[in-house]
Amino acid sequence: MTANDPDHAGPTTEFGRSHIQAVPADPSPTRRLLILSGPALLIGIASALGLIVLDLIAEALENLLWDGLPALIGFDQYAPWWILVVLTLAGFATGLIVRFAPGHAGPDPATESFFPPAVPLITLPGLALAAIITLATGVSLGPEAPIITLNVALAVWVCKKVIPAVPTKLIILMVVTGTFGALFGSPLGAALLATSVAAATASKALLWDRLFLPLVSAASGSLVMMVFSGHTMSLTLPEYTPAVFADLGVALAVAAAAMGAGLCLLLLFPHVHRLFHRWRGPVIPLTVAGVLLGALGALGGEVTLFKGVDQMAQLAAAADDVEAWQVGMIVVIKLAALLIAGAAGFRGGRVFPTVFIGVAVGVLAYAIFPSISLTVAIGAGVLGICLVVVRDGWLSLFIAAVVVGDATLLPILCMVVLPCWLAVARLPQMQITEPGAAAHDTNSKQAAQ
């Protein structure tokens, strides 16, 4: 064999470096990925449709409670007494569902990660009803936790009937990325989440081979939302004009303040959770939580209710017209509402209200110092608190970038995320760990292998 032999596989030179001649990749992973692309596509589509159906039902109930009944009877839809009544009844109804529905409306969201196990199908009606009540009545939680649990259970059941050879862990990963693609209307956040999971697991497979199926699911889920839903988390903000060093200082300060707000949640969360779960059953604590949420909502008004996507757009649009004390009160009320709703056992997720709080912290900074950039302040506020609550640097950076909707701000956010990550990385996560939960969470993250 000589150097001129086409089969010669000795060292070759490229850009002055010697390396082993490239060999064709094993075709078997490619064939497997192509075969599983169909199921991944369907999982992403089904995940998005599940979210759309849940949102539509919740929206219909919301319109009845907050528009139809007040207009029919003739009172202010957000009258303090009505807010108190609706949220008290929401707590009582959720407590009854958790107590008496088969499967008790699924696991407590405070104990779940983004990768939940597949619950029995008998649990799903109660979970869906409890989630609809949460979304429609103004509880400060979003849809991500219950819809991921619902989608995971249905997808695992169907796949085990139709394609039983597909590992359950892979199904869960595809459902999570498909649902996140639908939630944010973009596959990028799901891709970054999957990348973080893949980076935490050892595997000889190429990274993009491991990400391929989750990305198929995420892309299809986001495309469905683009076709059927016009919802977006992007705010209409003033055009960002870079003043790099000044903006970097502002972003660091606002992110630090938002992290402080997140740390308050983090430190109080296990104590409040333990307080609400001292009762023998869920009806009394959830009713009490509903009363407390109603009182907070009556004090803060409509802007402090619901998951916060529409409300943060209202708050950002009014940034030039609100006083600092008003925004500060909104931040405190929303923090307390999220803490109570998340710890008491309402079926909902914490990401969307957390983003609202980040936006509110940015607006508060702007109200105190009107000379700073509102866009920078909001982006840094969202980034800072998401790092504490979500505990994923990539996902937090993505959410902040989506909210401000300006790629020019990305270098500032990328620089700010680095010291902020060092500050939060070793803190405990905002999740209640029950016996066996830690082991399951570790096993779930093996899905990217």
Cα-based distances in Å from 252 to 255, 368, 381: 5, 16, 9
pLDDT reading at 204 higher than 60: yes
pLDDT in tens, 131-153: 999 999 999 999 999 999 999 99
Select from 71, 289, 288, 48 the least CA-distant residue to 182: 48
SS (H, E, C) 149-177: HHHHHHHHHHHHHHCCCCCHHHHHHHHHH
Which residues 6+ apart lie within 8 Å of 339 measured at CB?
A: 265, 268, 269, 272
pLDDT band at 434 (very low <50, low <70, confident <90, very high): low
> In 140-243, which residue ranges form alpha helices assigned H by DSSP?
144-162, 168-184, 187-199, 207-228
pLDDT in tens, 286-324: 999 999 999 999 999 999 999 988 899 999 999 999 999
> What pLDDT, on the 0 to 100 scale, is given for residue 408?
87
Distance between CA atoms of residues 54 and 59, nearest Å: 9
448: which DSSP letter? G
Distance between CA atoms of residues 155 and 171, nearest Å: 7
CB 97 within 8 A of CB 126: yes
Distance between CA atoms of residues 267 and 429, nearest Å: 10
Which residues 6+ apart lie within 8 Å of 6 measured at CB?
A: none
> What pLDDT, on the 0 to 100 scale, is given for residue 328?
95
Distance between CA atoms of residues 140 and 309, nearest Å: 11
Which residues 6+ apart lie within 8 Å of 263 measured at CB?
A: 388, 427
Distance between CA atoms of residues 415 and 420, nearest Å: 9
Quick one: tokens of 291?
């009363």
Q: At which residue do the structure tokens 């609202």 appear? A: 356
CB 83 within 8 A of CB 267: no
CB 225 within 8 A of CB 393: no
> In 277-350, which residue ranges form alpha helices assigned H by DSSP?
283-300, 309-317, 324-344
Phi, psi of 20 (to 5 degrees): -75, 135
| DSSP per-residue letters across 36-94 | HHHHHHHHHHHHHHHHHHHHHHHHHHHHIIIIIHHHHHTS-TT-HHHHHHHHHHHHHHH
pLDDT in tens, 61-109: 999 999 999 999 999 999 999 999 999 999 999 999 999 999 999 999 9
pLDDT in tens, 405-424: 888 889 999 999 999 999 99
Task: Give the residues across from 14 on adjacent strands.
Answer: 17
> What pLDDT, on the 0 to 100 scale, is given for residue 203?
64
As a whole number of Å, the end-to-end CA separation of the chain is 39
CB 241 within 8 A of CB 318: no
One-letter amino acid of 59: E
Distance between CA atoms of residues 417 and 99, nearest Å: 42
pLDDT in tens, 238-294: 888 888 899 999 999 999 999 999 999 999 999 999 999 998 889 999 999 999 999
Which residues 6+ apart lie within 8 Å of 362 measured at CB?
A: 254, 258, 374, 377, 378, 379, 380, 381, 382
125 vs 192, which has greater pLDDT? Answer: 125
Distance between CA atoms of residues 154 and 156, nearest Å: 6
pLDDT reading at 197 higher than 50: yes
Give the HSE-up count for residue 24: Cα atoms under 13 Å, Cβ half-sphere.
6
